[in-house]
Structure 1
Amino acid sequence: MPCVIQVLATLAPVIALIALGHQMRSRRWVDDSFWLPAERATFFLFFPALLITALARARLDGLPVGGIMAAEAGAVLIMAVATGLAASWLRQAPWRLDGPAFTSLFQCSMRPNTYVGLAVAAGLWGGQGVALVAICTAAVVPLVNLLGILALLRWAGKEGASFRWGVVLRQIVTNPLILSCVIGIALNLGGIGLPPVVGPFLDILAGASLPLGLLAVGAGIRLGELRRAGPSVALSIAAKMAVLPLLALALGALCGLEGLALAAAALYAALPAAPVSYLVARQMGGDAPLVATMLSAQTVAAALIMPVWILAVPGY
């Protein structure tokens, strides 16, 4: 029971910040023009600062880095293959997903909202939890970017769209979350750490990441759109927040993960889908309104589902 209370107590302020962000936007406490630059600043500046500081200070030599990355990447690959094989079946009742709608399900079955993951891990496990989530991010974010683009090009069928390896690779290597993970790990393994001036500067930036990121998540929730939620939205919740963490948990156990490392792997896999899914769908011919509905439904469902996966880890 104390463990249950601890998890719920840690998630409570996260949920409260998301709810506050929703209220701030729906009640127009701040102008709508505030949210886009806030999201960009969080994505390009504040969250990278948090990842760099967490990884530069973490004791990586005691963490099962290879096992975590193998479990997370393996779970995503299995989900991608299974979803792709089900494409023709999902065109039938009750799903009735055409190509663009199918890509919405595909993206929302595997893209993780790292903002929420970092906030929960920091609240539950402190700096070590952030380091574990950062390792998961390094394994998953490049992979889901590649798979998401491939799926959109295959099934969305936007006129004039073509696959270019250079474009995909550039999106991956310039992703600020990936770059910050690489920098943080390099500083750690190189024995450099955080220099006297740089370290406090990044700490200040990192302090803004979680509150602003969670407020932005809440601002993106559209409760009104949940009225059009149908079987495909329910399927996205089941795939992303039930099947994917189950795969990560099973693969993690096979890779020898246990305790905190296994709990972090399950937590990361159970995160709601990332808001970037909507932007990618809008740019590449996917069903962006359906993505928005799936994102909102998953974010609301996360409050009930994520504690279950954290507590399901043996020995945690």
Structure 2
Amino acid sequence: MGTVAGALAPIFLLILIGHALRRFELVPAAFWLPAERVTYVLFFPCLIVDELARANLAAFDVLPMAAALVVATLAAAALLLAGRRAVGLDGPAFTSVFQGGIRFNTYVGLAAARALFGAPGLTLTAVGIALLIPLVNVLSIAVLSGHGQDAKGTNARAILGGLVRNPLIVAAVVGAVLTLSGAGKPPLIGDVVEILARAALPLGLLSVGAGLDLGAARSAGRGVLVSSVVKLLLLPALTAAACVAFGVEGLAFTVAVLFNALPCAPSAYILARQMGGDHTLMATVITVQTLLAALSLPLVLVVLG
């Protein structure tokens, strides 16, 4: 476990540094929103394109892994919906528990995959991102539309438009086309993309830390507990079971389980605010899960061997 924890330690140290930079105002508070934005729309898409363009996807049997990720995520979503009354929360609060139970932090995921498994792990993680971002967004928007404070229903065209414009999905498609077509990394522009990609992980992780709300974490209650248990423990277990069922083995098995053990993404807070979810509870879920992941991710990986 010491080796795994040592590999992941720099990731969580960067997150803590980001929190300290904002907490003690060592950089202007106005810096963080544009920093997170440029990371999301430029640096991280460049990282995904760069990795996939150089990857040999034929070396991986990604379809069984993809099936396992989808089935496990749908199972977790179904369990959360079935247990809504048992949790005893109102509609807006439940939407935050639901998002916390299925959404994943791509920044932490890509950084962990690179630290533990290098380029092959990063490639498989990029495949997972391209696959699950549409799924978790559709599920989250559907639940917010039905249970959020401003529940009015959401039209399918608006959901589809948001997915088509998502920069991470676009990047995954571009990267896959480059590698599957045999074109690989393009000259000149490929070097620019590679340079931009280097900024993705450090700036992304610092932004995650800057977004943590430790004050809100002190008020963690039943909703935070349910969401965290589902996301950090139950969903990885469901993913492992699905991997066994679909015959997923080796690195693909480990990356799939690690991927679905990631803490909730900061983007869940924005969606909660926009669609009438309990954004205060959402901020607490994100903070608590990010802190707990420093312990749960090494534990999951050690259990996997």
TM bin, normalised by shorter chain, reads over 0.9
Contact 1:108 1:236 in 2 (8 A): yes
**Partner residue of 1:247?**
238
For 2:249 and 2:128, locate their aligned partners in 1 and report how far apart those are by CA, in whole Å.
15
Q: Which of residues 275, 278, 289 in structure 2 aligns to 1:287?
A: 278
Q: Which of residues 34, 39, 42 in structure 2 aligns to 1:37?
A: 34
**Partner residue of 1:121?**
113
Q: Which of residues 261, 272, 294 in structure 2 aligns to 1:270?
A: 261
TM-score (norm 1): 0.95
**Partner residue of 1:139?**
131
Matches within 5 A, 1:14-163: 14-91=11-88, 97-158=89-150, 161-163=152-154
For 1:180 and 1:68, locate their aligned partners in 2 and report how far apart those are by CA, in whole Å.
20
For 1:308 and 1:256, locate their aligned partners in 2 and report how far apart those are by CA, in whole Å.
23
Matches within 5 A, 1:254-265: 254-265=245-256
Per-residue deviation at 1:125?
1.1
**Partner residue of 2:3?**
6
SS of equivalent residue, structure 2 residue 84 = coil
Contact 2:146 2:153 in 1 (8 A): no
For 1:156 and 1:180, locate their aligned partners in 2 and report how far apart those are by CA, in whole Å.
31
SS of equivalent residue, structure 1 residue 228 = coil
Letter aligned with residue 232 of structure 1: G
For 1:69 and 1:32, locate their aligned partners in 2 and report how far apart those are by CA, in whole Å.
39
Matches within 5 A, 1:217-236: 217-236=208-227
Contact 2:100 2:282 in 1 (8 A): yes
Aligned positions, number:
305
**Partner residue of 2:193?**
202
Deviations 1:39-80 (A, max 9, x none): 110100000000011111111111121011111111111111
Letter aligned with residue 32 of structure 1: A
For 1:292 and 1:281, locate their aligned partners in 2 and report how far apart those are by CA, in whole Å.
9
For 2:43 and 2:108, locate their aligned partners in 1 and report how far apart those are by CA, in whole Å.
14
Letter aligned with residue 117 of structure 1: G
Deviations 1:180-220 (A, max 9, x none): 11110110000011112012111111000000000000011
Deviations 1:99-155 (A, max 9, x none): 000000000000000100000101111111110101111121100000000000111
Per-residue deviation at 1:163?
1.6
Contact 1:68 1:135 in 2 (8 A): no
Per-residue deviation at 1:88?
2.0
Letter aligned with residue 147 of structure 2: W
Deviations 1:250-275 (A, max 9, x none): 10121111121111011100000000
Q: Which runs of 5+ in 1 are unaligned?
A: 92-96
TM-score (norm 2): 0.98
Per-residue deviation at 1:6?
2.6
Contact 1:54 1:128 in 2 (8 A): no
For 2:303 and 2:176, locate their aligned partners in 1 and report how far apart those are by CA, in whole Å.
30
Per-residue deviation at 1:231?
1.8
Deviations 1:144-185 (A, max 9, x none): 0000000001111406x3320100001111111111111101
The alignment-based identity, stated in percent, is 45
For 1:85 and 1:98, locate their aligned partners in 2 and report how far apart those are by CA, in whole Å.
14
